[in-house]
Amino acid sequence: MEMTPYQLANNTPLTLSPNFILPEEKRPNLSEVLPSDSIPIIDLNDHDIDDGQGPSPLVSKISQACEEYGFFQIINHGVPRELCQKVLAVVTEFFQLPPEERAQYLTKDHSKQVKVFNYYQKYEGIGKVTMWSETFSHPWHPTEDFTYLLPTNPPQYREVFAEYARAIGVLFDRLLSLISRGLGLDKDCLKRRIGEKPGLHTQANYYPACPDPELTMGMPDHNDLGSITVLLQVEGVTGLQVIKDGKWLTVDPVPDAFVINLADQTQVLSNGKFKSVGHRAVTNKLLPRLSLGMFYTPNDDTVIGPIEDLIDEEHPPKYRRYSFKEYMEEFYRQEGKRRRVKEAFELQR
C-alpha cells in the first residue's frame, strides 16, 4: 500500500512502497560519500575591521568559501542557542501532530503561502518518484504580516517563530553585507540588487527514519532558487550532502552553527564568481532528521543579471538579464526534472 507524504512522520514502515524507490542509477551510493572535513567553518567574531588595506580576514574567508564551495558553516553568529533549540522543538512538535491535522495544509498549489508538500522527481519510463520527507513552508517576514497565517497548534509556534525570524533577519543583513564586500562591492550592493521587498520564506524538512536509505532520497540533488539560505540542522543526525569536484561530501551538524549556502541568483549577480552548488539530503535507518531553512529570495518583478561593476573585457557577462518571475516559470516548466535552472539563462559564446 502506498503511503501519502504527510503520513510519513507518524509511521515507521518496515519496507519502502514502490513510489519511493529510485531508479538504480539515481540512488545515493552512500558508500562513495566523503567526510566533510574540508567544508569551511567560519567564526563571525573574526577580525572584521576595514583598515583600507584590502578585505578583512573575515571577508576574505567568506569570499574564499563562496568561490570554492558555495557552502560554509558559521559560528558565533549572534542567534542564541536557546532560541535555536526552541524553534527546532516547536517545528518537531508540528510534524508530530496527527496527520489529519497537518493535512489541512497539504496542497499541490505552489502559490499557497502556508503549505505541507512533498518533493518528487520524474524519470523517463518510471514516472514520478516521491522523496522520503515531508516539508512545511510559510513566510517568515515581515512578522506582523505573516503570524496570523501560522498554526495555532502547537500553541507556542507563532510566538517562537516570530522571535526566531527577527533574529535571522539581523543575521541575513550581516551575511549579505559580508558577501557583497567579498565581491569588492559596497556592503549594501547585494541587498539593493535583490530588492527592497524580497520574498522571505522558511522551509522545514522532516526526514523520518527510513527502512532502506540506499533505495531512496530525502531531498533530490538541487540548487536553491533564491539568493542565500540559512539552514539550521538538528544536532547528532547527518543527512545533508554537497557536491564538490564531482564528489558528494557530508555536511555534519556543528553545535551552535548555521549552514550557509549560496543560491542561483547570487551566482548570476556575481557573474559566476561565487557558486550556487548542488546539494541533497539522504536518510538513515535509525533516527529522524529535521532541518529548517530560511530563504532570502527576490520578488517576481526583480530583474536579475550580473552586477555591472563585475563586468569588463576580461569578465564579460555570463548570463542574460531576466525577471525572477521568468526564472520561476522556467523552474516550474521543468516539472520535477531538476535541470539546473540557471543554465537556461547562460549566454552562449
Least trusted range by pLDDT, from 37-46, 182-191, 294-303, 337-346: 337-346
Say which residues have a Cβ less than 8 Å from residue 7's Cβ, sequence separation at least 6.
99
Helix (H, G, I), strand (E, B) or coil at 108: coil
Name the DSSP class of 149.
G
pLDDT given at position 160: 96
Grid cell for residue 139? 513566510
Q: State the pLDDT confidence band at 4, using cuts at 50, 70 and 90.
A: low
Q: What are the structural domains, with CATH classification, of the chain?
A: 5-345 (2.60.120.330)
247, pLDDT greater than 50: yes
**Whole-angstrom Cα distance, residue 58 to residue 71?**
15
Give me the chain's average pLDDT, please.
Answer: 91
Condensed to tens digits (0 to 9), the pLDDT of residues 136-157 reads 999 988 877 888 889 999 999 9
Is the pLDDT confidence value at 42 over 70? yes
83 φ, ψ (degrees, to nearest 5): -70, -40
Instruction: Kindly report, residue by residue over 107-128, the tens digit of the pLDDT.
Output: 888 889 999 999 888 888 888 8
- Reported confidence tier of residue 49, pLDDT bands at 50, 70, 90: low
What cell was used for 86? 526552541
Instruction: Give the pLDDT score at 145.
Output: 82
Q: What is the pLDDT of residues 281-340, one digit of tens each?
A: 999 999 999 999 999 999 999 999 999 999 999 999 999 999 999 999 998 887 655 556
| Whether the model pTM is above 0.95 | no
d(CA 46, CA 225): 29
Q: Which pLDDT band holds residue 265 (cuts at 50, 70, 90)?
A: very high
- Cα angle 303, 307, 311 (rounded to 5 degrees) comes to 135
